[in-house]
Amino acid sequence: MPYRAPISEYRFLFDHVVGFDAVTATDRFSEATPDMVDAILTEAGKMCEEVLAPLQRAGDQHPARLENGVVRTSPGFAEGHKAIAEGGWVAIAADPEHGGMGLPMTVTTAVNEMMSAACLAIQLNPLMTQGQIEALEHHASDEIKATYLPKLISGEWCGTMNLTEPQAGSDVGALRTKAEPNGDGSYSISGQKIYISWGDNDFTENVCHLVLARLPDGVDGTKGISLFMVPKYLPNDDGTPGKANDLRVVSLEHKMGLHGSPTAVMEYDGATGWLVGGEHDGMKCMFTMMNNARLGVGGQGIGVAEAAYQHALDYAMDRKQGRTPVEGGNTIVDHADVRRMLATMKADVFAARAIALSCAVAIDMAHATGDADWSARAALLTPIAKAFGTDTGIAVSDTGVQVHGGMGFIEETGAAQYCRDVRVTAIYEGTNGIQSMDLVARKMMDGGDAAFALLDEIEAFAEAAKSDLPDLAEPVWQAAETLRETVEWLVAQQDMTTRFAGAVPFLRGFARVLGGYFHLRAAVAEPGGARARLARFYILRLLAEHKSLFAQARAGSDDLYALSTDDLAA
């Protein structure tokens, strides 16, 4: 499938929408000059177009498979991973002390999105490694850092995260995997983990598993969980892979999509592991990796949305069908409903991308300045970026099938693969319902201060824009004010079930307002151009959804629980 990396879109967002100039103005990221960033994005885009995109169909048609205990990956995936590793794309944001580039997370987010658009199945491998790198940088001992980080950063080794068990999905605290001290500083890890993305492969020297397990004195629930590094091969003293550890891939899941990405059931039978972080601090350590992955997964959704949009647009520009109202128009792109679908796809991709990059900017500013307000902004935006990014990937890929008409339902066109591949992104790294619950609960423990600070910025910008673009600025200001009132109502609710009942529409409404704000910024930066016309479409059509979404958010839970289980089964 052809894919065109949207380099100019990233440049525009960096320069005019998400405030990337504040990141490069800090001492920590001063070397990320516009020329350097432009060169990085261009080279990454070229690699995605020429090396990764041709693997998209191969991964789907020739899935990873388990043969005699050995995982065999899809044709071309070894070469694809080699290109990612040798290009340094695994560790753009990693610490230079261990071989990383030390560049902003904002740049990593853009590169990850391009890789996801080109071939999501293979991009999931370096995404897991990136999260593991960050977890080790923050929590591992110096010895573990020295052994594992250089190899992970170079791409010679790759990383996974092992949380889920058959009886412990979102309720991680129910896990049964055990860790017994060996008396030499190592531990014996025993248990089974499921849904392990890229649990094994045939192209890296080692696979490094971060495994959640419970020590003998670990209490029940999440407070008794610890985190361990459990490699496929035990490292020798010189850092090379040594003897095989006592772990194995039991099976690979048969999945709806992402066939090129092996999702493993892992068995640990007295495997040797080493503690990462403190005893019983496993969830704290793993959340570092999970928060990194949540932004990355949001980017995966956006990347697939971009690819599905490009695929649908190419088809619509070529497919001839019926009369159109456009003089000289003879393809379906000129039919009103097809034009509506394509405009919705493009407008939502822009909104979701801007939200994700804005979240990345907040992460970079928090790292560069240590400012708690930036940390709060990053925390607030992370669940929105993850949920709205993946919801957008699902919606846009679904609409892409519709644009293709009957041909969209035929596998040979490739339109359906985007739907099948992206669907899981709304489930893993915490379902989008969990992201929404996190937003209305933990992220509102400050009484809404972080949300109000963001709304202050939105309303101030919209107020200033009223002089030039009153028909666009006024709806954005009004939507922000409605969101403010909804946040005020939300933080006043002490009953969490009342908050949770409307959490999903609240998050989506929040994302709609953010999308309107970012589209308005684009229109101000490029008045009268294509971006302003797209902003008009979004603000006058899609932003209007916020009213019904916030009405749902404030509906409470009584009507949900007035329905009995018998009513649901009737």
Distance CA 332, CA 319 (A): 6
Told to judge if 429 belongs to the known catalytic residues of this protein, a careful annotator would answer: yes
DSSP 261: S
Q: Spell 494-503 as b/e; 16+ CB within 10 A means b.
A: eeeebbbbbb
Q: What's at 81, amino acid-wise? A: H
113, 165, 429, 459: which one is catalytic? Answer: 429
Distance CA 168, CA 166 (A): 6
- Among candidates 500, 360, 356, which has minimal Cα distance to 439? 500
Distance CA 204, CA 246 (A): 18
To the nearest 5 percent, what fractions of the chain are helix, strand and coil?
60, 15, 25
**φ/ψ (deg, to 5) at 234:** -70, 125
3-state secondary structure of 557: coil
Cα 458–chain centre separation:
24
Position of tokens 């001290």? 181
Which pair of structure tokens corresponds to residue 279? 């005893």
Q: How far is CA 274 from CA 183, 242, 301, in A?
A: 12, 16, 34
Q: What residues does 272 pair with on adjacent strands?
A: 188
Q: How many residues does the chain have?
A: 570
Helices (H), 370-414: 372-404
Which pair of structure tokens corresponds to residue 478? 């009004």
Contact 213/224 with Cβ under 8 angstroms?
no
Contact 491/498 with Cβ under 8 angstroms?
no
Q: How far is CA 288 from CA 89, 133, 238, in A?
A: 20, 10, 29
Helices (H), 62-163: 77-86, 105-118, 120-139, 142-154
Q: What's at 217, amino acid-wise? A: D
Give 313's Cβ-side CA count (13 Å radius).
Answer: 15
Query: Which residues are annotated as catalytic?
Result: 429
